[in-house]
Chain A
Amino acid sequence: MAVGDALHRIGRNLCSCDLCGRVLEPVIADLQHEYEHADGAAERFFALLGGYAAFWRSFGWCLARDAAARESRRYLGSASVAFLIVVGTLALSEILFLHTLQGVRNVVLRVLSWVPYLSYIGWSARINTATLTFGLPLAMLPALLYATRRRGIITPSAALLAIALGTILTTASSGWIAPAVVRWSVVAERDRFVVALGGRRQVPPIDFDGCPDCRAWPDVIRGARAPLKHRYPGYPTYVAPEDRGLPAWYRSVLRERLLLIVFAILAGLIGWRLGLALERRQADDDGVFRTRDDGGRRVVVVGEDGED
């Protein structure tokens, strides 16, 4: 394997053929040439350093260029439409089944509590965040699958951009928007309680430190790393029972949110690759194009007669 072969493979697989041939291959050729003609280890090291830096800079430009191309914009448009439809459907079902009819809600929550791991969704559903927490990463799969099927085989940068955007959305939704909704609902519930009491009892203020699900990303990270709390100055080593499991609880919430991000990436990747596989299979069946191996490079051959 020659120097720069791995870079060449990355460029070939992630950028359009045109940009790879015009921009990336000359950069790699320079790197290989400089490395081959370098005298001594130090010169070879600097040849590698300069060549790699030039490659990644050019690669970034190629990805951006591919992602901004007309076909990529159409792909993102299709993915966005499918994403919104799926998220809208999930939100609607959440409202209908979990927040409107008490009878239906009880049945759904019972079913969710039976199925392993779905009890999380059941808990989130109680406070209006099931779609915000789980719906967004879930919608990545159908969105990418639909866009890939609709737009055909395109450069990977468009799909990667769609996955990156979906992941950012999932991060924002599960780590900021959903906790804000939980906080809002907890405050609203307390206010209703205070009004119902009519001032007959003193209601203590809400302690959001004891509710990791109400906290945004930075607070959850801080909470997971925080030492145990010593509330009582007279007893410096004493930890109150309600504080003992708090860091572990924060860590578990942090773990769940990170898993949601991984889930979003995986769902996007699966949707994209599945769409690609289905599209290729259909195109092969229709005889629209075939692929042939041309010196280690996959070349798309259009038509029955192999017209390139």
Chain B
Amino acid sequence: MSGHPRISRTERAILELLVSEGELFGLQLVERSRGVLKRGTVYVTLGRMQEKGFVESRTEPPAPGAIGLPRRLYRPTAYGVGVFRAWSRAARAIARLQPHEA
């Protein structure tokens, strides 16, 4: 069903980290994911999640004397949290099902 939100494995990993830890930088997500997220693709996934409305971002406040571009902090939206919790409930329910019950 095209109207339902789709959530990939990496998106779930990101949402799980953001829901449990709050606001994080992209590199922090990579470090804490224990190899699930890669540095080269994390922002691609985060960008896609922003398009879907799962996460929102803001630039870090500029530090005095800092050179270069400000880093970006990501946090889940209420919609993202809702989708993640619904998916987690569904995953738990599916895991409880036994073949003989079907």
Interfacial residues, chain A to chain B (CB-CB below 8 A):
2-4, 8, 19, 22-30, 32-34, 36, 50, 53-54, 57-58, 61
Q: CB distance B71 to A26 under 8 Å?
A: yes
* B12 touches A (CB below 8 Å): no
* Residues of the A chain whose Cβ atoms lie less than 8 Å from the Cβ of B70: 29
Q: CB distance B47 to A23 under 8 Å?
A: yes
Q: How far is the CA of A63 from the CA of B71 in the complex (A)?
A: 22
Q: CB distance B68 to A22 under 8 Å?
A: no
Q: CB distance A3 to B68 under 8 Å?
A: yes
Q: Which B65-84 residues have C-beta < 8 A from chain A?
A: 66-72
* Residues of the A chain whose Cβ atoms lie less than 8 Å from the Cβ of B40: 53-54, 57-58
Q: CB distance B43 to A26 under 8 Å?
A: yes
Interface pairs (13), CB distance under 8 Å: A8-B69, A24-B43, A26-B72, A27-B43, A29-B70, A30-B25, A30-B27, A33-B68, A34-B27, A36-B66, A54-B39, A58-B40, A58-B41
Q: CB distance B72 to A29 under 8 Å?
A: yes
Q: Which 4 A-B pairs have the closest CB atoms?
A: A32-B68, A57-B40, A29-B69, A22-B47
Q: How far is the CA of A84 from the CA of B4 in the complex (A)?
A: 42
Q: CB distance A30 to B47 under 8 Å?
A: no
Q: Measured between C-beta atoms, what is the minimum distance from B21 to chain A in Å?
A: 18
Q: CB distance A33 to B43 under 8 Å?
A: no
Q: CB distance B67 to A61 under 8 Å?
A: no
* Residues of the B chain whose Cβ atoms lie less than 8 Å from the Cβ of A57: 40-41
Q: CB distance B26 to A26 under 8 Å?
A: yes
Q: Which B58-100 residues have C-beta < 8 A from chain A?
A: 66-72
* Residues of the A chain whose Cβ atoms lie less than 8 Å from the Cβ of B39: 30, 50, 53-54
Q: Measured between C-beta atoms, what is the minimum distance from B32 to chain A in Å?
A: 15
* Residues of the B chain whose Cβ atoms lie less than 8 Å from the Cβ of A34: 27
Q: CB distance B69 to A23 under 8 Å?
A: no
* B44 touches A (CB below 8 Å): yes
Q: CB distance B43 to A23 under 8 Å?
A: yes
Assuming the contacts A30-B25, A30-B26, A34-B27, asked whether A61 and B44 have C-beta atoms less than 8 A apart, the reply is yes
* Residues of the B chain whose Cβ atoms lie less than 8 Å from the Cβ of A25: 69, 72
Q: How far is the CA of A28 from the CA of B27 in the complex (A)?
A: 11
* Beyond known contacts A22-B50, A26-B43, A29-B70: 20 more, CB 8 A cutoff: A4-B68, A22-B47, A23-B44, A25-B69, A25-B72, A26-B71, A28-B69, A29-B69, A30-B71, A32-B67, A33-B27, A34-B27, A36-B68, A50-B39, A53-B39, A57-B41, A58-B40, A58-B41, A58-B43, A58-B44
Cβ-defined partner of A32 (8 Å) among B47, B69, B72: B69
Which of B27, B41, B46, B68 has the most CB atoms of chain A within a 10 A radius of its CB?
B68
Q: How far is the CA of A30 from the CA of B66 in the complex (A)?
A: 13
Q: How far is the CA of A156 from the CA of B43 in the complex (A)?
A: 21
* Residues of the B chain whose Cβ atoms lie less than 8 Å from the Cβ of A24: 43
Q: Which B9-54 residues have C-beta < 8 A from chain A?
A: 25-27, 39-41, 43-44, 46-47, 50
Name the CB-closest residue of A to B68: A32
* Residues of the B chain whose Cβ atoms lie less than 8 Å from the Cβ of A8: 69
Which of B25, B39, B41, B71 has the most CB atoms of chain A within a 10 A radius of its CB?
B39
* Residues of the A chain whose Cβ atoms lie less than 8 Å from the Cβ of B25: 30
* Residues of the B chain whose Cβ atoms lie less than 8 Å from the Cβ of A33: 27, 68, 71
Q: Measured between C-beta atoms, what is the minimum distance from A153 to chain B in Å?
A: 23
Q: Measured between C-beta atoms, what is the minimum distance from A90 to chain B in Å?
A: 42
Q: Measured between C-beta atoms, what is the minimum distance from A193 to chain B in Å?
A: 62
Q: How far is the CA of A28 from the CA of B43 in the complex (A)?
A: 11
* Residues of the A chain whose Cβ atoms lie less than 8 Å from the Cβ of B44: 23, 58, 61
